[in-house]
Amino acid sequence: MNLFKAFSLLNLSVLSSTTQEYLHIAEEYSLHPVSLAIASVLRHPLVASAVFGATRSWQLQEVLNTCNVKLTSKVMAEIDKVHARFPNPCP
Protein backbone atom coordinates (compact mmCIF):
# COMPACT_ATOMS: atom_id res chain seq x y z
CA MET A 1 0.00 0.00 0.00
CA ASN A 2 2.89 2.40 0.54
CA LEU A 3 3.60 2.36 -3.19
CA PHE A 4 0.90 5.00 -3.57
CA LYS A 5 1.19 8.29 -1.68
CA ALA A 6 -2.54 8.57 -1.00
CA PHE A 7 -2.52 5.28 0.89
CA SER A 8 0.28 6.46 3.16
CA LEU A 9 -2.23 8.89 4.70
CA LEU A 10 -4.45 6.04 5.86
CA ASN A 11 -4.19 4.70 9.36
CA LEU A 12 -4.58 1.03 8.49
CA SER A 13 -4.91 0.04 12.13
CA VAL A 14 -7.94 2.31 12.58
CA LEU A 15 -9.37 1.23 9.26
CA SER A 16 -9.02 -2.44 10.18
CA SER A 17 -10.56 -1.91 13.63
CA THR A 18 -13.51 -0.05 12.16
CA THR A 19 -14.09 -2.71 9.54
CA GLN A 20 -13.99 -5.47 12.14
CA GLU A 21 -16.56 -3.63 14.29
CA TYR A 22 -18.99 -3.33 11.38
CA LEU A 23 -18.41 -6.94 10.33
CA HIS A 24 -19.18 -8.03 13.89
CA ILE A 25 -22.51 -6.18 13.81
CA ALA A 26 -23.39 -7.77 10.46
CA GLU A 27 -22.53 -11.23 11.75
CA GLU A 28 -24.38 -10.72 15.03
CA TYR A 29 -27.60 -9.87 13.19
CA SER A 30 -27.10 -12.39 10.32
CA LEU A 31 -26.75 -9.69 7.71
CA HIS A 32 -24.43 -9.56 4.75
CA PRO A 33 -21.97 -6.68 5.27
CA VAL A 34 -23.14 -5.11 1.98
CA SER A 35 -26.73 -5.14 3.20
CA LEU A 36 -25.74 -3.61 6.53
CA ALA A 37 -23.78 -0.83 4.83
CA ILE A 38 -26.32 0.10 2.18
CA ALA A 39 -29.35 -0.21 4.45
CA SER A 40 -27.73 2.03 7.08
CA VAL A 41 -26.81 4.66 4.47
CA LEU A 42 -30.34 4.66 3.04
CA ARG A 43 -31.85 5.25 6.49
CA HIS A 44 -30.32 8.71 6.56
CA PRO A 45 -33.09 11.25 5.87
CA LEU A 46 -30.98 13.28 3.43
CA VAL A 47 -29.92 10.30 1.31
CA ALA A 48 -32.00 9.39 -1.73
CA SER A 49 -29.76 6.68 -3.18
CA ALA A 50 -26.59 4.74 -2.51
CA VAL A 51 -23.72 4.33 -4.95
CA PHE A 52 -22.35 0.81 -5.29
CA GLY A 53 -20.24 -1.14 -7.70
CA ALA A 54 -21.01 -4.65 -8.83
CA THR A 55 -19.00 -6.57 -11.39
CA ARG A 56 -20.53 -9.97 -10.71
CA SER A 57 -24.17 -11.03 -10.64
CA TRP A 58 -23.92 -12.29 -7.04
CA GLN A 59 -22.72 -8.83 -5.97
CA LEU A 60 -25.71 -7.21 -7.62
CA GLN A 61 -27.96 -9.77 -5.95
CA GLU A 62 -26.58 -8.79 -2.52
CA VAL A 63 -27.36 -5.16 -3.26
CA LEU A 64 -30.88 -6.03 -4.40
CA ASN A 65 -31.41 -8.12 -1.27
CA THR A 66 -30.83 -4.94 0.71
CA CYS A 67 -34.26 -3.73 -0.45
CA ASN A 68 -35.76 -6.26 1.98
CA VAL A 69 -33.53 -5.34 4.94
CA LYS A 70 -35.11 -3.31 7.72
CA LEU A 71 -32.58 -2.31 10.35
CA THR A 72 -33.95 -2.18 13.86
CA SER A 73 -33.24 0.67 16.25
CA LYS A 74 -30.96 -1.74 18.15
CA VAL A 75 -28.83 -2.38 15.05
CA MET A 76 -28.72 1.34 14.26
CA ALA A 77 -27.64 2.09 17.84
CA GLU A 78 -24.72 -0.30 17.45
CA ILE A 79 -23.77 1.25 14.12
CA ASP A 80 -23.96 4.71 15.72
CA LYS A 81 -21.63 3.59 18.53
CA VAL A 82 -19.00 2.47 16.01
CA HIS A 83 -19.42 5.66 14.04
CA ALA A 84 -18.98 7.73 17.22
CA ARG A 85 -15.71 5.94 17.93
CA PHE A 86 -14.47 6.10 14.33
CA PRO A 87 -16.23 9.04 12.63
CA ASN A 88 -13.79 9.20 9.71
CA PRO A 89 -11.63 6.08 9.47
CA CYS A 90 -10.42 6.95 5.95
CA PRO A 91 -9.59 10.66 5.93
Domain residue spans of the chain: 11-43+51-85
Higher pLDDT, 10 or 57: 57
pTM for the structure as a whole: 0.81
The whole-angstrom separation of Cα 63 and Cα 35 is 6
pLDDT > 80? residue 52? yes
Residue 9 has pLDDT above 90, yes or no: no
Q: How confident is the model at residue 6 (pLDDT cuts 50, 70, 90)?
A: low
pLDDT of residue 3: 59
Instruction: Note the pLDDT tens digit of each residue in 14-39.
Output: 888 999 999 999 999 999 999 999 99
